[in-house]
């Protein structure tokens, strides 16, 4: 302790000041200013035009589609993430590290590729295109394609939050539960889930934010049909391209708002359950 304090004393105060200023400047330039700009541009012509832009039928369709896509992708990837993390951390099996790498893949490949693979698989000229065509099933350039691309891109979020935590926790408690005669499900819901619920929630929140905000992969498979297959990020691009800058930023601000609300919910829950959280850590 005393060592560290004397080290701090040796640093000239101007250096400390400069470093802090630099950090603040960086934060303002990279994070705060863009956020402020979105809202400033959206409200440039007042609240009337702002709300009018959000109530426009195509904007409403985009909002509905975005929520629908998130409502499908997030539960799917929550179940998948839980199952994958459970399997990877509580059991030993052949090919485990390969599975871990595969789960990470959507993080490392470009979203454009994530979209393009679906065109190559299910597009009219793709591997399964002719087959799907026979049964008149449209995957690409429809809501189904948008959902598929989003599911792929958001696949790792829950699993990636859970795996490190569950690895650190080990499987001692589950083993104890097993010796006491608990079934697999009972062990999962009474032992494992309470231990990981905060990480799980954080993973779900990140997954939701990404599912609503994904642009690249969705842009490839959507076909950009106004009011039908345009999610909010795509609708922002369409509006921007139509010189409707206020409307574009209005929809963008709503998207930013969704993200802020997601983070606020997380902070609120953390504050509300601070005691439980501490108890859990203590254990």
- Residue closer to another protein by CB (options 133, 270) is 133
- Decide if 50 contacts 246 (C-beta within 8 A): yes
Using the rule CB under 8 A, is 45 a contact of another protein?
A: no
CB atoms within 10 A of CB 91: 9
- Decide if 82 contacts 101 (C-beta within 8 A): no
SS3 113: helix
Using the rule CB under 8 A, is 281 a contact of another protein?
A: no
The string over 9-39, giving b where at least 16 C-beta atoms fall within 10 Å of a residue's C-beta and e elsewhere, is: eeeeeeeeeeeeeeeeeeeeeeeeeeeeebb
Min separation Cβ 75 and another protein, Å: 4
End-to-end CA distance of the chain: 28
What's the CA gap between 278 and 241, in Å, rounded?
50
Using the rule CB under 8 A, is 41 a contact of another protein?
A: no
145-184: which residues touch another protein (CB under 8 A)?
147
Using the rule CB under 8 A, is 238 a contact of another protein?
A: yes
- Residue closer to another protein by CB (options 163, 248) is 248
Using the rule CB under 8 A, is 142 a contact of another protein?
A: yes
63-92: which residues touch another protein (CB under 8 A)?
68, 71-72, 75-76, 78-79
Q: Which residues contact 255 (CB under 8 A, 6 or more apart)?
A: 66, 212, 213, 232, 233, 236
Using the rule CB under 8 A, is 123 a contact of another protein?
A: yes
What's the CA gap between 88 and 132, in Å, rounded?
35
Min separation Cβ 91 and another protein, Å: 20
Q: Which residues contact 161 (CB under 8 A, 6 or more apart)?
A: 81, 199, 200, 202, 203, 206
Using the rule CB under 8 A, is 202 a contact of another protein?
A: no
Using the rule CB under 8 A, is 203 a contact of another protein?
A: no
Sign for the CA dihedral angle at 43, 47, 51, 52 comes to negative
What's the CA gap between 129 and 133, in Å, rounded?
6
Using the rule CB under 8 A, is 196 a contact of another protein?
A: no
Among 45, 90, 226, 266, binds another protein (CB under 8 A): 226
Min separation Cβ 106 and another protein, Å: 19
- Decide if 106 contacts 152 (C-beta within 8 A): yes
| Cα angle: 82, vertex 83, 84; to 5 degrees | 95
Among 126, 178, 259, 269, binds another protein (CB under 8 A): 126
- Residue closer to another protein by CB (options 225, 261) is 225
Using the rule CB under 8 A, is 125 a contact of another protein?
A: yes
- Residue closer to another protein by CB (options 11, 242) is 242
Using the rule CB under 8 A, is 225 a contact of another protein?
A: yes
* Joined tokens for residue 272: 């509300």
- Residue closer to another protein by CB (options 28, 225) is 225
Q: Return residues touching another protein (CB under 8 A).
A: 68, 71-72, 75-76, 78-79, 119, 122-126, 129, 133, 136-138, 140-144, 147, 185, 189, 193, 223-228, 238, 240-243, 245
């Amino acid at each position: 302790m005393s060592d560290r304090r004397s080290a701090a004393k040796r640093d000239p105060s101007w250096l400390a000041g400069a470093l802090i200023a630099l950090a603040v400047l960086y934060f303002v330039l990279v994070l705060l200013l863009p956020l402020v700009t979105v809202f400033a541009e959206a409200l440039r012509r007042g609240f009337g035009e702002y709300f009018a832009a959000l109530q426009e039928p195509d904007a409403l369709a985009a909002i509905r589609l975005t929520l629908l896509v998130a409502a499908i992708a997030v539960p799917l990837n929550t179940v998948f993430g839980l199952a994958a993390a459970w399997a990877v951390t509580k059991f030993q099996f052949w090919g485990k590290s390969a599975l871990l790498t595969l789960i990470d893949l959507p993080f490392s490949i470009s979203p454009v590729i994530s979209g393009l693979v679906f065109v190559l698989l299910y597009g009219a000229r793709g591997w399964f295109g002719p087959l799907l065509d026979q049964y008149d099933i449209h995957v690409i350039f429809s809501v189904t394609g948008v959902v598929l691309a989003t599911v792929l891109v958001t696949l790792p979020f829950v699993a990636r939050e859970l795996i490190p935590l569950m690895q650190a926790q080990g499987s001692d408690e589950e083993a104890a539960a097993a010796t006491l005669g608990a079934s697999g499900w009972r062990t999962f819901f009474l032992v494992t889930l309470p231990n990981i619920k905060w990480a799980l929630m954080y993973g779900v929140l990140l997954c939701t934010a990404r599912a609503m905000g994904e642009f690249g992969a969705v842009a490839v498979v959507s076909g950009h049909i106004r009011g039908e297959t345009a999610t909010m990020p795509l609708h922002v691009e369409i509006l921007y391209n139509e010189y409707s800058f206020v409307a574009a930023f209005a929809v963008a601000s709503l998207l930013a708002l969704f993200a802020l609300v997601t983070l606020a919910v997380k902070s609120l829950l953390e504050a509300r359950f601070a005691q439980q959280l501490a108890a859990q850590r203590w254990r």
